[in-house]
Amino acid sequence: MTAPTLDTAPWSVREPHVDLQTLAVTESVFTLSNGYLGIRGTLDEVEPSDMRGTYLSGVFETHPLSYPEGGYGQPEEGQAMLTVADGTPLRLLVDGIALDVREVRPEVHERTLDLRAGTLDRRVRWTAQSGTSVEVSSRRLVSLAERSVCAVRYEVRALDGPVHVLVRSELAAGVVTPTGVDNDDPRVAADLDHAFDPRAQIGTANGGALVERTRRSGITIAATVAHEVDGGRVSTHVDEQHIVTTVAADLLPGESITVIKVVGYSWSYDAGSDSVVGEASAAVSSALDLGWEGLLARQRAALDELWATADVEVDGDPELQQALRYTVFQLFCSAACISDAPIGAKGLTGIGYSGHTFWDVEGFVLPALTLLRPDAAARLLRWRSATLDLARERARTLGLAGASFPWRTINGRETSAYWPASTAAMHVNADVSRAFWLYQDVTGKDLDSVGGLAVLVETARLWMSIGHEDAAGGWHLFGMTGPDEYTGVVDDNVFTNLMARANLRRAAVECQRLAARASELGVDHAETSAWRSAAEAGHVPWDEGLRVHPMNENFTTYREWRFEDQRDSYPVQEHQHYATFYRRQVIKQADLVQALWWCRDEFTDEEVARDLDYYEARTVRDSSLSAAVQAVVCAQAQHPDLALRYLRECALVDLRDVQGDTAHGLHLAAVAGAWLAFVAGLGGLREDHEDLEIAPLLPSSLSRTAYHVTWRGRVLRVETTREGTTVTLTRGEGPVTVVVDGAPLQVTAGAPVHVPLRAPSPLLDEPRQPAGREPRT
Amino acid sequence: MTAPTLDTAPWSVREPHVDLQTLAVTESVFTLSNGYLGIRGTLDEVEPSDMRGTYLSGVFETHPLSYPEGGYGQPEEGQAMLTVADGTPLRLLVDGIALDVREVRPEVHERTLDLRAGTLDRRVRWTAQSGTSVEVSSRRLVSLAERSVCAVRYEVRALDGPVHVLVRSELAAGVVTPTGVDNDDPRVAADLDHAFDPRAQIGTANGGALVERTRRSGITIAATVAHEVDGGRVSTHVDEQHIVTTVAADLLPGESITVIKVVGYSWSYDAGSDSVVGEASAAVSSALDLGWEGLLARQRAALDELWATADVEVDGDPELQQALRYTVFQLFCSAACISDAPIGAKGLTGIGYSGHTFWDVEGFVLPALTLLRPDAAARLLRWRSATLDLARERARTLGLAGASFPWRTINGRETSAYWPASTAAMHVNADVSRAFWLYQDVTGKDLDSVGGLAVLVETARLWMSIGHEDAAGGWHLFGMTGPDEYTGVVDDNVFTNLMARANLRRAAVECQRLAARASELGVDHAETSAWRSAAEAGHVPWDEGLRVHPMNENFTTYREWRFEDQRDSYPVQEHQHYATFYRRQVIKQADLVQALWWCRDEFTDEEVARDLDYYEARTVRDSSLSAAVQAVVCAQAQHPDLALRYLRECALVDLRDVQGDTAHGLHLAAVAGAWLAFVAGLGGLREDHEDLEIAPLLPSSLSRTAYHVTWRGRVLRVETTREGTTVTLTRGEGPVTVVVDGAPLQVTAGAPVHVPLRAPSPLLDEPRQPAGREPRT
């Protein structure tokens, strides 16, 4: 992997020189998004670029899924997030020569993502062939206040001589979308190459609009553009694929022209072109009314509010400080304006995984958002509960009761084409349910306010129809795949069994609490009793000889993996066949270890220590999901230095391109995971009991950490130094009970509590990883 | 299913009236083949037809396999048997009207497959629109003596008035080949639609030749045709796709014309067109030299020899008598002239399963052929051992030692696209090995004469690299799929474990016997000792509570299937998802029960009885492979009446279209299985010990059975009546030891032995099947 060179700074991410080798990675890193609209950090002049990308959450095309050997119930239709009309292009000609960083190296080329301003700034100083130098300053934003709007301020200044300058600003129709999955069926590429049917092109004096409709999914999308130009001659022309506004000027030294470009988007399943154009145009008008400075001010205000309630601080590790703020920023941006759509695995930062959402959004992104931006969490949970009928339909297809949520989807319909790592991975249903109950635990708001009761009831019914009792009364789930994708189709995966138990129990509790609503869902006492009984009887394998939990029945008897022979063979799945590694002791990502966190009440401290030790030695971490979980559980087992190393790997996953695939988009679950690794890991925060719990640890290389959480409408700030931990109520009324290192304390406004720092008390030595698979960075 | 109406007769299969509803089935049933060349029983005049088919064993085209979600080591190229140039068309015009059974119903339309003559006869009496009647008599054969030759004698006689008759005889280039699998990738269809590149068209006075070359697999195929005409005016013309010979005549009442058409085939990977045409033309010349009567005589002679050494007789069940002779006939024809190619699952009778060979050919077809036509068995084993390098390559791909034979293939390369039912079904390797060692046991010839030692050694090495020891020293195979395709990716499948043990042991024994050759293969004493140790330690799960063998670890604890709710939902795989039925107690086909037969020494009589009882109640028999195994083991457990019912289902599978898919071709493994069900089932024959063993049973509805086997170069005839069993040495020198009901007896020429019939002695009541899944027919 080639990581981009980025300056380390507390409040910004700055690339000091343009680097063509890492252009694809910086396109992802410099993505601006608000959850409704996302735009990759491509250069204004379009070329060079790795993957142009403007995305609207929920806008996708379908394509057939065809199987060389199919089977009953395999999804027949895939979905892929589309690259919609791109409003970023601002091509520059100076004395007839195009600015192209490949052709003439600029003397200055800086790009800076400002985490407080919410802007991507670019400064280029460049000498044209005529010998004259110009300075280009651009500032781009995707509005956090006006969800449909992207705006750019683009200024060209002549430095040392008269120049003829031409700026060609484009709105360009949606481009070819790579499939983003390993689907090499030519029909898929064909469908996505020709996803858009142009419907209208409208030119105005200073811009215009493009309307397109997707051929298969039937979504109408409008993009509208307008320009405010200071200086120069302006003209606009239109073709089927472009709205082009040209600004030409003759500049004397020191003179400049400035173009402010505003682009608005709208889309609809059912509205006509006119209506969609109208909405997009209104968004542009609103932005123009606010003006450039107004947009900037609102952007900063939104982020001021973010940092006031969600800032993270760390002393002793500037790289980590930057990375953690970057993750909070991207996490916030991924969901700020989202509505009626899921967050994809890459958010709106690239078309990796075709824009699909997976269980890790509910598993990591939602719990983090619930503690940071509960309003965004609520909107995401509402999207999920709105897909319940599709999940019911999928369960019927599978011959099961209740609802079975999809492994990967954009609109709620299952689109996964490899069942052993999707349909068999039924834990997704408990992961979804958990996001609902954590929402209630953290916010204090009723989970049914976001449609949670029906989700819990239908997933409980699903588990009952999958599981069964043995002759001795033990309750089992056979043929499951847990989080670890290197161990598939196994019996009694501990994580799945424990999560199913939790799902059943919580469903029963909530049905009791919301009896009338439960009754509407057809739940009676007999049913909840059956859920409780199954949960009680849920089988958890145990290896008495090793005194560890096999992650599934027989796991500890599988053949050991020869890690020493495999040093150059990662990721394992690209060098070995499923049939080989599904029954070996090689683990892609935390699975049993994840249960030690999410199902912590089921394990003693000694079990946590011994299980962690066993699985650390066998986990190769070929998934970016894993480091966060390992960080949390290493901290839980009192190994803060190792936890920090995992936290660093996770937090730097995209800024350092640790996985080598940030080019396809940011790793949103790792982005959320990094925050969780910090807060639930080093901070020991647990939100799944009656009161908020923390158990702070400070790794030897750090001198201070601090973070905020929003807990039942209040904001708490937790700061830890060598002296101890101070919990401050920064917003809302107290008192709030916070359990610090097991002791409940009352926090009220103006009266922080302080607890001395405890030394780590591990039961075992720090665990070892397979050779070469220690935490990276 | 709509079964064809076929007369029951001991030596023929006769369709008394043409039936358009069952035309596809009769096309399969009336296929003529010699293992090198196969031609479906289509009507002479081509239309109507369901699927025209002329096939050459080993001639295939490749096509890409693309996966919506691929994985390491998934085959990237598929193979499909091709429909080559069709020499059967003989279109008839009478007074300008084409004979078409859809348009004008013939007064007579009989078709008869004569099992002693080896011909397909057709007699049609038909009145043309002119009011004149003609009689058409055609006789078709695929020569069992001249492997490349198909011949037809076609006669048209005017019955009651003068008529103008025109016979248009065609050789038509290879047609579109449906994929035969559920691959809906359009590239596959495109590749197979355009598989042939026409290379040459040659016309002669009475016929000509077509040469085509496959575009991807690079096979050159020539088909040559010649006609001998008695009466009429003959002309030939040629286009890129056809050689057309026209015979026209004016017939007075009672007059006739006769066309004898001979078609010859040849193909090659490397020879040029000229050379391939030369070979095909030589075949035609040879056939013309023999003449029509000479071809008929040689055909009958080949079958006289078959029936003298392989006839089967049964009194008391005329349907079964016919079906058993039909199966022996088709089994013989499938392999008579085969060489350097495998037998596909459908032989050369249709393009079902794309013409691929599977484990059931070694499992059922080869053991039957070894006892009936050991020369054909030897040729098939030589083909398999010649693919060893491809199997070694596949093992390397899988990260395993030794050789891993393909699940489905034409040329030896793996082409299976669903790994849980192919790559995970490693038992194929032991099944292949068993065919080699049974060949040695039955013929007395060295298995290495057909390349067997290297096969045993490399499969033993494969098993060692898959299996591993647990802490207690037990040896395990995890993540396997056994024969039952409704239970996938399980640990310690009993059938697989026992077959692997047998494979390891036998490899060790043969390496000791052939020490020098073993040494060339790098085998030393340490290696064979390790094989023996693993075999000794091979784990066999046992359910002490139920006192049965779970077919794999935990199987008996799976949730029971609700058969009573599923009466209309067969086959299960078309109504339920893998994720559902892989861990339920529903069994597609014999698995543990097959081990009771193939690994009989590992089970006590009580275990056989109890295991059979348990699995009978859970087996839905959605595979045509299963009935034969169930027949054999039901007989083994002393239930001859139930064995007979399974035998009938198996023997009638194609004549009655029991599975509803005979249209795609005959079920070759069931064809062989029917014979095994008769001989190893009712006859109790076992060939896997030092001496031949029999243990005859006579179901209550039969009064006599008789069969032949070829045992170490001698032919034995075994006849059983109520009085007892007589074993006669009909060919070769004695004495031969035959163990009858456990007692060794010496049989010599002219001195048959006679043993009284034993009454069945079951330990348990006759087993029950799931409701609605009792034996059919």
Single-letter code of the amino acid located at A683: G
Asked if A69 is an active-site residue, the reply is: no
Which chain B positions have a beta carbon within 8 Å of A575's beta carbon?
A: 72, 399
Q: Which of A478, A545, A579 sits opposite B398 (nearest CB)?
A: A579
A488 shares contact with chain B (CB less than 8 Å):
yes
Between strands A312-315 and A233-238, the pairing is unpaired
CB atoms within 10 A of CB A393: 15
Selected catalytic residue, list B15, B485, B510, B687:
B485
Residue of B nearest to A556 (CA): B470
B579 shares contact with chain A (CB less than 8 Å):
yes
Contact in structure between A577 and B72 (CB atoms under 8 Å): yes
Chain A (601-630) residues lying within 8 Å, Cβ to Cβ, of chain B: none
pLDDT score recorded for residue A569: 87
Which chain A positions have a beta carbon within 8 Å of B188's beta carbon?
A: 68
Which chain B positions have a beta carbon within 8 Å of A579's beta carbon?
A: 398, 419, 423-424, 479
SS3 content of chain B, % helix, strand, coil (to 5): 35, 25, 40
Q: Shortest CA distance to A358 belongs to which of A402, A416, A401?
A: A416
Nearest chain A Cα distance for residue B545, angstroms: 10
Contact in structure between B136 and B122 (CB atoms under 8 Å): yes
**Cβ-defined contact of A399 to B580 (cutoff 8 Å):** yes
Residue B348 tokens read as: 């050369």
Q: Which of A72, A478, A488 sits opposite B576 (nearest CB)?
A: A72
A vs B: CB pairs below 8 A = 153
The answer to whether residue B182 scores a pLDDT higher than 60 is: no
**Cβ-defined contact of A478 to B397 (cutoff 8 Å):** no
pLDDT score recorded for residue B671: 98
pLDDT score recorded for residue B128: 85
pLDDT tens digit sequence for B78-129 = 999 999 999 999 999 999 999 999 988 899 999 999 999 999 999 999 998 8
Chain B (313-372) residues lying within 8 Å, Cβ to Cβ, of chain A: none
Mean pLDDT, chain A, whole residue set: 96
The answer to whether residue B685 scores a pLDDT higher than 70 is: yes
Taking residues B178-186, report their average pLDDT.
Answer: 57
Per-residue pLDDT band for A231 (boundaries 50, 70, 90) equals: confident
Mutate which: A62, A63, A65, A72, vs B, most B CBs within 10 A: A72
The answer to whether residue B569 scores a pLDDT higher than 90 is: no
Nearest chain B Cα distance for residue A338, angstroms: 29
Residue B496 tokens read as: 């697989």
Per-residue pLDDT band for A724 (boundaries 50, 70, 90) equals: very high
Contact in structure between B413 and B406 (CB atoms under 8 Å): yes
**Cβ-defined contact of B579 to A423 (cutoff 8 Å):** yes
Q: Which of A66, A576, A577 sits opposite B68 (nearest CB)?
A: A66
B689 shares contact with chain A (CB less than 8 Å):
no
The answer to whether residue B177 scores a pLDDT higher than 70 is: no
Pick the more confident residue, B129 or A387.
A387
Alpha-carbon gap, residue A415 to A356, rounded angstroms: 9
**Cβ-defined contact of A417 to B68 (cutoff 8 Å):** yes
Mutate which: B79, B578, B586, vs A, most A CBs within 10 A: B578
The answer to whether residue B179 scores a pLDDT higher than 70 is: no
pLDDT score recorded for residue A178: 57
Which chain B positions have a beta carbon within 8 Å of A398's beta carbon?
A: 577, 579-580
pLDDT tens digit sequence for B331-347 = 999 999 999 999 999 99
Mutate which: B477, B556, B557, B568, vs A, most A CBs within 10 A: B557
**Cβ-defined contact of B573 to A73 (cutoff 8 Å):** no
ipTM of the prediction: 0.92
pLDDT tens digit sequence for B585-611 = 999 999 999 999 999 999 999 999 999
pLDDT score recorded for residue A1: 53
Contact in structure between B171 and B86 (CB atoms under 8 Å): yes
Alpha-carbon gap, residue B241 to B238, rounded angstroms: 8
Per-residue pLDDT band for A192 (boundaries 50, 70, 90) equals: confident
pLDDT tens digit sequence for B299-330 = 999 999 999 999 999 999 999 999 999 999 99
pLDDT score recorded for residue B191: 79
Mutate which: B179, B476, B559, B565, vs A, most A CBs within 10 A: B559
pLDDT score recorded for residue B102: 94
**Cβ-defined contact of A69 to B418 (cutoff 8 Å):** yes
**Cβ-defined contact of A488 to B489 (cutoff 8 Å):** yes
pLDDT score recorded for residue A188: 78
Q: Shortest CA distance to B185 belongs to which of B327, B267, B80?
A: B80
Which chain B positions have a beta carbon within 8 Å of A489's beta carbon?
A: 420, 488-489, 582
A465 shares contact with chain B (CB less than 8 Å):
no
Alpha-carbon gap, residue B109 to B26, rounded angstroms: 13
Chain B (495-554) residues lying within 8 Å, Cβ to Cβ, of chain A: 545, 553-554
B254 shares contact with chain A (CB less than 8 Å):
no
The angle that helices B605-616 and B626-636 make with each other, rounded to 10 degrees, is 140
Q: Return contacts of B384-389, CB within 8 angstroms, 24+ apart.
A: B384/B342, B384/B432, B384/B435, B384/B451, B384/B455, B385/B436, B385/B450, B385/B451, B385/B452, B385/B454, B385/B455, B386/B340, B386/B412, B386/B451, B387/B411, B387/B412, B388/B451, B388/B454, B388/B455, B388/B458
| Residue A185: HSE in the Cβ half-sphere, 13 Å Cα cutoff | 24
Quote the distance between the C-alpha of residue A757 and its chain's center.
33
Nearest chain A Cα distance for residue B426, angstroms: 10
Alpha-carbon gap, residue B220 to B268, rounded angstroms: 5
pLDDT score recorded for residue A104: 83
Task: Output the pTM of the full model.
Answer: 0.95
Residue with tokens 């689907």: A183
Which chain B positions have a beta carbon within 8 Å of A576's beta carbon?
A: 72-73, 399
Which chain A positions have a beta carbon within 8 Å of B578's beta carbon?
A: 71-72, 419, 423
Which chain A positions have a beta carbon within 8 Å of B181's beta carbon?
A: 68-69
The answer to whether residue B181 scores a pLDDT higher than 50 is: no
The answer to whether residue A181 scores a pLDDT higher than 50 is: no
Per-residue pLDDT band for B2 (boundaries 50, 70, 90) equals: confident
Per-residue pLDDT band for A566 (boundaries 50, 70, 90) equals: confident
Alpha-carbon gap, residue B550 to B558, rounded angstroms: 10
Which chain A positions have a beta carbon within 8 Å of B71's beta carbon?
A: 418, 573, 577-578
Which chain B positions have a beta carbon within 8 Å of A557's beta carbon?
A: 470-471, 476
Which chain A positions have a beta carbon within 8 Å of B553's beta carbon?
A: 554
Element (H, E) at A503: helix A494-513
pLDDT score recorded for residue B422: 97
A269 shares contact with chain B (CB less than 8 Å):
no
The answer to whether residue A418 scores a pLDDT higher than 90 is: yes
Per-residue pLDDT band for A734 (boundaries 50, 70, 90) equals: confident
Pick the more confident residue, A66 or B534.
B534
Mutate which: A404, A485, A580, vs B, most B CBs within 10 A: A580
Beta-ladder partners of A261: A152, A227
A472 shares contact with chain B (CB less than 8 Å):
no
Pick the more confident residue, B130 or B516.
B516
**Cβ-defined contact of B580 to A470 (cutoff 8 Å):** no
